[in-house]
Amino acid sequence: MTNRSAFAIVALFVMVSLSGCAAKIHGTVQLVDGGQQPAANESAQGTVVNMMNTTAAVEQASHAVTVDAQGKFESAKDRLRPGTYKVEASRIGYETDTQTVQIGKYTSKKIEFKLKKIQEAKRKTIQGSRSDEDKIINPGEVNIQPPTM
């Protein structure tokens, strides 16, 4: 009876230990200016981090989380399956950054993203034009007005 009890205790300990070792992708997101300095008065909170398993079935292929107030993110427990993941951090006004990682059954990978601020161009106004070439502009703020005839 004591051998069975000891075995049961060890088995329970192993199961509890492994339950905390599920596959996980976690890390931080920092917003930076063109010179790689932290962006002033900007928080990474709300930045979207997509985790796409390129080797899994479609229904298990994607998982997304948002960054917290401290700039940290973590995949939800039991959402990741072993495979190759493209992890993408994106935020409006910043360049999207993508990294590729291999995840095993009990793998924990830390990723650090530095999203670079997109430099805004001068404000452009597009008025009606006859060709598409006239409509090409630099990225930035745009006002679109209907064509005048």
Is residue 15 domain-resident?
no
Residue 52 β-bridge partners = 62, 86
Retrieve residue 40's tokens: 């002033």
Confidence at residue 132, expressed as pLDDT on a 0 to 100 scale: 54
Is residue 8 domain-resident?
no
Domain extent at residue 114:
23-143
State what percent of residues in the chain have pLDDT above 90: 45
Whether 136 has a pLDDT exceeding 90, the answer reads: no
Is residue 38 domain-resident?
yes
CATH of the domain at 92: 2.60.40.1120
Confidence at residue 16, expressed as pLDDT on a 0 to 100 scale: 45
Q: Please check whether residue 24 is in contact with residue 75, taking contact to mean a CB–CB distance below 8 angstroms.
A: yes
Confidence at residue 72, expressed as pLDDT on a 0 to 100 scale: 97
What total number of domains does the chain contain?
A: 1
Is residue 35 domain-resident?
yes
Alpha-carbon distance of 83 to 91, in angstroms, equals 26
Question: What is the separation, in whole angstroms, between the first and last Cα of the chain?
Answer: 95
Is residue 4 domain-resident?
no
Q: Which residue has the higher pLDDT, 52 or 122?
A: 52
Confidence at residue 78, expressed as pLDDT on a 0 to 100 scale: 82
Tens digit of each residue's pLDDT (9 = 90 or more) over 76-92: 888 888 999 999 999 99
Is residue 149 domain-resident?
no
Is residue 2 domain-resident?
no
Q: Give Cα 31 distance to the centre of its chain.
A: 13
* Predicted TM-score (pTM) above 0.85: no
Contacts of residue 14, Cβ cutoff 8 Å, sequence gap at least 6: none
Q: Residues 1-20: what's their mean pLDDT?
A: 55
Tens digit of each residue's pLDDT (9 = 90 or more) over 106-123: 999 999 999 999 887 655
